[in-house]
Structure 1
Amino acid sequence: MIFLTLLFACAAAAASGVIFPPGEWYRGLRRASFTPPNWVFPVVWTTLYILIAWAGARLAVVPGAGLALALWSAQIALNTLWTPVFFGAHRVKAGMGILALLWLVVAGLIVVAFGLDWVAGLLLLPYILWLSVAAALNWRIWRDNPAA
């Protein structure tokens, strides 16, 4: 039941992408040459959200996991916030700030998770790797589209 609850939270974060799709604005931006094809994003995020919920569910049953669960909550809030800021409000710089903070929160979550449940820590590693790619993409859009 814990897993399904956390998966629901991840689905709510994913729904922000339906509400604020990339659209014409995004298609008109100069993007990095290493930008993945559009079909990659939903595949990667679906996989990551399952892993994030799974890691959170594992942590939720470990005694003393209060900090881990607080960090889990913070990361899903920041994750949800990025899409409306970047795609909805077209605030590329603010999106970069949110991604930087999200990366730090997830890094902290991973450190705490490894101390509580090494499987949960491993489950979160693909997330921080993808956030690194996302941050590089966001940064390149910020750099290459000064008027955006």
Structure 2
Amino acid sequence: MEWGLFAIFLLACAAAATTGSMFMPGAWYRGLSKPTWTPKDWMFPVVWSILYVSSAYAASRVAPLEGSAYAMAFWAMQIAFNTLWTPVFFGLHRIKAAFFVMLGLWLSVAGTMVTFFQLDWIAGALFVPYLAWVTVAGALNASVWARNPNEPAVAAE
């Protein structure tokens, strides 16, 4: 493994994770109607930490490989959607818009997983839990949207 590449990808993941500390769930989220299967609050930072380290490691395995352009483009797209979702949902309280960001995240994670599998089976396998978690997160976002259809968004200033 190239430690420099791993560090770069881990820093990109850390930047994405920073939005989670900038836009905390807070009282607004606690007040929303959520399904009974909603994961406990403590699970989110634990799971995301594991997924970010796995994602960075997988990317560092694939980046130096011949023919990795599409795989790395998908990786860049998934980290961009990942970074965007938290401010849209928790910052702006735009549940519906966040769902569409989540669709982009799901598709880009799936694309990353498939293209990583084509180049390195370990890297592809490291994205399976990520896709599973994003599937749960997308279902949760959809359920919260359905249960709170009239929840007002934060007004633009």
TM class by smaller structure:
over 0.9
**Could you tell me how far apart the structure 2 residues matched to 1:9 and 1:101 are?**
18
- Identify the residue that residue 89 of structure 2 maps to in structure 1: 86
Tell me the amino acid that sits aligned with residue 87 of structure 2. Answer: P
| Runs of 5+ consecutive residues of structure 1 not aligned to the other structure | none
Kindly provide the CA deviation profile for residues 59-116 of structure 1, in whole angstroms up to 9, marking residues without a partner as x. 1111110111111001000000000000000000011001111111111111111111
- Identify the residue that residue 17 of structure 1 maps to in structure 2: 20
| Runs of 5+ consecutive residues of structure 2 not aligned to the other structure | 152-157
SS in 2 for 1:146: coil
State, as a whole percentage, how many aligned pairs show the same letter: 52
RMSD: 0.6
Deviating beyond 2 angstroms after TM superposition, the runs of 4 or more aligned structure 1 residues are none
Normalising by structure 1, we get a TM-score of 0.98
**Could you tell me how far apart the structure 2 residues matched to 1:107 and 1:39 are?**
25
**Could you tell me how far apart the structure 2 residues matched to 1:55 and 1:95 are?**
26
Counterpart check, 1:136 vs 2:136: no
**Could you tell me how far apart the structure 1 residues matched to 2:95 and 2:102 are?**
10
Query: What number of residue pairs does the alignment pair up?
Result: 148
Counterpart check, 1:122 vs 2:125: yes
**Could you tell me how far apart the structure 2 residues matched to 1:109 and 1:76 are?**
10
Which of 42, 46, 50 pairs up with 1:43?
A: 46
Counterpart check, 1:145 vs 2:155: no
